[in-house]
Every structure is written in C-alpha cells, then in structure tokens.
C-alpha cells in the first residue's frame, strides 16, 4: 500500500510542445513529490456526446443493453479517474475567452447525474467531495478573474457542481501584454502552493 497523493493530471492545450499550461502542470505536480499520477491528455480528442450517449446515460444502469454500456465505457473510465484522485491538476489555455472544446467534451462526459452529482430537494449536489483541484490557466490577453474570463469562472463552477470546491488557480494571463511578468507571477503562485 502507498500513501502517495493520487493526482489526475488533465492537459487541455492543443499544443503538445511549447505549451505554457503543460509546463505549469509539470511544476505543480513536482510540488507534490512522490505522487501517483494518472494523465488524461485532451490533445488526444474525446468524442462529443450524441443522441446514443444521452439515451444510454438516461437508461438505468441495470436496464442498459450491452451496446449502451459500451457507449458509456469511456465516460465511466473518466469518472473512475476522478473518483480515484485526491488532487486534480488541470492545465487549460483560454481560447476565445473560454475553455478549449476538448475540455468541454471532457466535462460533458464526466458531469453525470447519479455518478458525479445528484439532484436533491435543495438542488444539485456534487458527489466528488473531499478533493482538491489546482488549475493552471494561460491566456494571451484575457485577465483571469475579469469580466471577460469565461474560462476560470466556468471551470470553478463545474468543479463545484461535481463536488470539488477546494480550487486554486495559477494564472499565466495576459502573456501577449507582459509575458515575463505573467510567468513570474505564475511561477510564484506555484512556489506558494501547499503540497
């Protein structure tokens, strides 16, 4: 048995070389020392949900056909990765003020009623509690946390929706305006993270 922190690393940048968010996620994970790291690289695209997926998802598990179970197999795998993780380290560039389409596809596959959230009398309740997320965001011109940042707010909302409310951001924002200052600020934020 190991007591190592279990990390789920999610890279959403389309760039596999020269990606700021990938470099930041490397640095963030290094802060945890000896950790078990599962990597989900969204540069290897995930399928979009479709009518067959929706039908399978809304069929009770005990009534699903083998074909429906197969349709949900990847989604089940992604949810299992989240459940197994103590910490989610997510690297995401800001594309056109929001998240990359690849990250939205991942969110659509893991935000499942009865699996990662439940409907209650008081509204939706996240089921993946007790986890921590560290999110590295990079942008050319968008200031993270500003009125035009639809990426950071959306990521925070969706993580909370599935129960992950301890969320920290490392921002390398406005790189096109002050790359050196932005990277210095991001690296200082990484150095200040508690492991």
Which residue numbers belong to the known binding site for FMN? 13
Annotated binding site: 13
| DSSP conformation letters of the chain | ---PEEEEEEE--S-SSS-HHHHHHHHHHHTT-SEEEEEEETTSPPPPP-HHHHHHHTS-GGG--HHHHHHTHHHHHHHHHHHH-SEEEEEEE-BTTB--HHHHHHHHHH--BTTTEEEETTEEEES--S-EEEEEEE-SSPPTTSTT-HHHHHHHHHHHHTT--EEEEEEE--HHHHHHHHHHHHHHHHHT---
């Amino acid at each position: 048995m190991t007591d190592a922190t279990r990390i789920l690393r999610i890279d959403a940048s389309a760039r596999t070389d020269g990606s700021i968010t990938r470099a930041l996620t490397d640095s963030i994970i290094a802060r945890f020392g000896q950790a078990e790291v599962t990597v989900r690289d969204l540069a290897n695209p995930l399928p979009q949900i479709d009518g067959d997926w929706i039908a399978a998802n809304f069929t009770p598990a005990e009534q699903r056909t083998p074909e429906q179970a197969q349709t949900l197999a990847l989604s089940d795998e992604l949810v299992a990765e989240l459940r197994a993780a103590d910490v989610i380290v997510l690297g995401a560039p800001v594309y056109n003020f929001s998240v990359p389409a690849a990250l939205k596809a991942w969110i659509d596959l893991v935000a499942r009623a009865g699996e990662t959230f439940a409907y209650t009398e008081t509204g939706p309740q996240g089921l993946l509690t007790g986890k921590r997320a560290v999110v590295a965001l990079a942008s050319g011109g968008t200031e993270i946390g500003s009125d035009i940042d639809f990426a950071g707010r959306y990521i925070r909302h969706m993580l909370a929706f599935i129960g992950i409310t301890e969320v920290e951001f490392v921002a390398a924002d406005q790189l096109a305006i002050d790359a050196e200052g932005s990277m210095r600020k991001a690296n200082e934020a990484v150095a200040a993270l508690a492991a």
